Structure 1
Amino acid sequence: MKKAIIIWILLHLTALAGVTGKLAGKVTDAVTGEPLLGANIVLQGTSFGAASDINGNYTVLNIPPGNYTVKVTYLGYEPVILSDVRIIVDQTTLLNFSLSSQSIQVGEIVVTAKAPLIQKDLTSSKSVISREDIEALPVATFTELLSLQAGVIGSGSNLHIRGGRSNEVAYLIDGMYVKDPLLGGLATQINNDAIQEMSLLSGTYNAEYGNALSGVVNIVTRDGSDKFSGKLEARTSEFGVKKYSDLHQNRINGSLEGPVIPGHLRFFISGETDNRGSYLPFGYNRNQTV
């Protein structure tokens, strides 16, 4: 029984690694510069938040990647709202707030946050592909997304990062390694619709990652939403040119998301089927992912 509990804890700790980001900073008085104790920092629309300590410092941990609106409130001070705050996997987003004393009742102040030019806590070369980037780029698979990044060449599961071998790349999905134990390459596929954010680490990546020499590909999947929505997409290469070649491709992918218990439990499911012609006797190479 004790061994089973230890294994369960280790599995859950592994799943939490590398799939969330952190928000940190300091809250001070805009006039005196003194730290404010007990200021409330909340990510609107979520359950994430924190309170500043005696030195005005605050930290919000385990935030899923994405864009958020951050609201800071303190008794006797005007509330401040920062929109489009980007949270990135394995990275600390620094936001400092200066609150002004509230002498009259005025509307909330909305400020658009800008990313710093230099990330002081980043020790590796990192490329981040957000959900917005995935929807904008004309690519069919996430390996095609990777091949567009600087220092990456190859196709399919045979990707080479900065001149390294394809079996020297580590792949993680929601903190779990999905590396082929025999050949060392990618052991599975994932539909683009299921990806919330993907990051590529190359060079001197952090010590929390191992089993890699060339780079680390870290994928975070989507959580779903509180509204029902779906998507269906079909791609084909058969446009009346079959008489010139027997090789063709038909790809269908789709996704569905929505609430199970509104405000508490959500679901997201996606799938893909890819049929390609070949010269093999049975006629097709067929891949399916869910």
Structure 2
Amino acid sequence: MKKLRIAVLAALLCPLFAVAQFKISGKVAGTNGGALTGAGVKLKNKGFTAGTNINGVYEFTNLPAGNYTVVVSYVGFATQEKNVTVAANTTVDFTLQQLAFLADEVVVSATRVAKNAAFTYKNLSKSDLEKTNQGQDLPYLLNQTPSVVVTSDAGAGVGYTGIRIRGSDATRINVTLNGIPLNDAESQGSFFINLPDLASSVDNIQIQRGVGTSTNGAGAFGASLNIQTTTRRDSAYAELNNTYGSFETWRNTVSAGTGLINNKFSF
């Protein structure tokens, strides 16, 4: 009876020894030999997945003998796979090739607000400026807009002129000309005495009252003044403007352009 029990037990244990358990392990590294931590490792035909540890090592255990396809992937590196036949514990190492990424530059900038943006602003077109342009400095053309107060040392709006928006003086008003900061680097003020009759060359202006979209530093605390000069025209043009004022003041401006030539050039 005892011999019979031993025979039955041996018969039950034989299948367990017949199905041997093995493991596949290895290291994933780059071409410089550095370990790739967190690389994804997959047994393609089994659906098993694993990740490499801090040393770049992965491991699959309790695998029956057979054929396997090991696939390794890592961000920024080419995916690699290897076929392996497992009849014992097997080591499969990988060396991944780094990929070259060529991407366009990303430029984030904002000096003007969109139509539905949550800012208080006023847009002035070229025609709006022409109605008030009498040869005075640019701040005087903005005198009729909300929250704007201008001053002039000479009293005529020519020469040293000052501007305040919502009570903030020129050192807290950020001024950009075609996106380029116009504020003085030392005092943060803006001066128009060396830009006579700038308004004749301006296409449009946006006034942002209060803190707006400007990214040009402390000058944007009180307001922002974004000036855009005229650009090329599609057709040829020539303009001559003469203005006569009190105190024997004259303003003469001439502008001309070729328009777009062969859809490529303009002067």
TM-score when scaled to structure 1?
A: 0.45
- Of the two, which has the highest radius of gyration? 2
More strand by share: 1
TM-score when scaled to structure 2?
A: 0.48
